[in-house]
């Protein structure tokens, strides 16, 4: 498993575990917990969740999965924009910690830009850091202008920007990814498999056939190719978790990357940030 270094020096795996859509149904929770535990056992020790996911249900699933193994995992959660005043950020984090059953988040993100001034959110993050309730902070769904606003607001310790990125969603390659690379800040890519919609793509399927894998494995390997991206696919069954882990070892050749570029052309101009 390749490791990615965050600006503060923490090293995390390039492939983690997403939890979007987990926790919505109680009859699925045992399987979801097992899937997360299996992923951790396979080295995918970064788990991403959020207070928004299933109204905290995904955090509860995550908490059950990491019970007794807190020191082995790197836990990421997010505050909703409407909660992201200074005091609201603190209160939201404390509620997330209760659902997770832990005392400290490794990384806490603002889920997307909202109406609260960024200075207030940053004040909440710093208060949480001082209290030992979070170790680091970051953002999600921030475009280049938002990242500039973040810097202007006084953010000096942002660790990542979590955005939509996969072969069919390449707009951030034009401006956002170069900006982040220059700052030494890795991207955290959500929906790297386009929520499974790339499974039937003929180009990815044909490339996968040559490696004995499916189209989704190729898509995931493509996302991880850069060396400065942390992918967080969600998988709710053990076979899918194992397939994702295996894809992290798949190296695509230049000719295969060229075929993907032809099928999913890289951007030639700036475009609005895509959000799912």
Range of the domain at 139: 10-263
Cα–Cα distance measured from residue 148 to residue 142, given in angstroms and rounded to the nearest whole number: 9
Predicted local distance difference test score (pLDDT) of residue 9: 97
Once rounded to an integer, what is the mean pLDDT over residues 40-54?
Answer: 98
Instruction: Please say whether the beta carbons of 117 and 170 come within 8 A.
Output: no
Q: What is the pLDDT of residue 1?
A: 84
Q: Is residue 142 part of a domain?
A: yes
Tell me whether residue 271 is in a domain: no
- Asked whether residue 97 is assigned to any structural domain, the reply reads yes
Task: Establish if 126 belongs to a structural domain.
Answer: yes
Does residue 198 lie in a domain region? Answer: yes
What pLDDT is stored for residue 3 in this prediction? 97
Q: Which two tokens stand for residue 193?
A: 């498999």
pLDDT higher than 90, residue 99: yes
Number of domains in the chain: 1
Name the β-bridge partners of 108.
77, 137
pTM, two decimals, is: 0.97
What are the catalytic residues? Answer: 53
pLDDT digits (tens, 9 = 90+) for 179-229: 999 999 999 999 999 999 999 999 999 999 999 999 999 999 999 999 999
Looking at the domain assignment, is residue 173 inside a domain?
yes
| Within a domain: 276 | no
């Amino acid at each position: 498993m390749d490791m990615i270094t965050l600006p503060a020096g923490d090293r995390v795996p390039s492939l983690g575990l997403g939890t979007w859509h987990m926790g919505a149904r109680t009859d699925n929770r045992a399987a979801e917990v097992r899937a997360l535990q299996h992923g951790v056992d396979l080295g995918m020790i970064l788990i991403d969740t959020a207070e928004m996911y299933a109204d905290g249900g995904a955090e509860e699933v995550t908490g059950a999965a990491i019970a007794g193994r807190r020191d082995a995992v790197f836990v990421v959660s997010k505050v909703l924009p409407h909660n992201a005043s200074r005091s609201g950020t603190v209160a939201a984090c404390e509620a997330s910690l209760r659902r997770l059953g832990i005392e400290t988040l490794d990384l806490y993100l603002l889920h997307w830009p909202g109406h609260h001034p960024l200075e207030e959110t940053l004040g909440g993050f710093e208060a949480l850091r001082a209290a030992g309730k979070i170790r680091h902070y970051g953002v999600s769904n921030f475009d280049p202008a938002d990242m500039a606003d973040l810097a202007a607001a006084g953010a000096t310790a942002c660790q990542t920007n979590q955005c939509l990125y996969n072969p069919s969603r390449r707009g951030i390659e034009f401006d956002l990814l170069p900006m982040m690379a220059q700052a030494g800040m890795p991207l955290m890519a959500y929906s790297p498999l386009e929520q499974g919609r790339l499974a039937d793509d003929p180009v990815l399927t044909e490339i996968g056939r040559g490696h004995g894998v499916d189209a989704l494995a190729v898509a995931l390997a493509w996302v991880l190719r850069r060396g400065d991206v942390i992918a967080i696919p969600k998988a709710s069954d053990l076979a899918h978790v194992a397939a994702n882990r295996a894809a992290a070892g798949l190296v695509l050749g230049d000719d295969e990357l060229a075929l993907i570029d032809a099928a999913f052309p890289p951007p030639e101009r700036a475009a609005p940030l895509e959000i799912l």
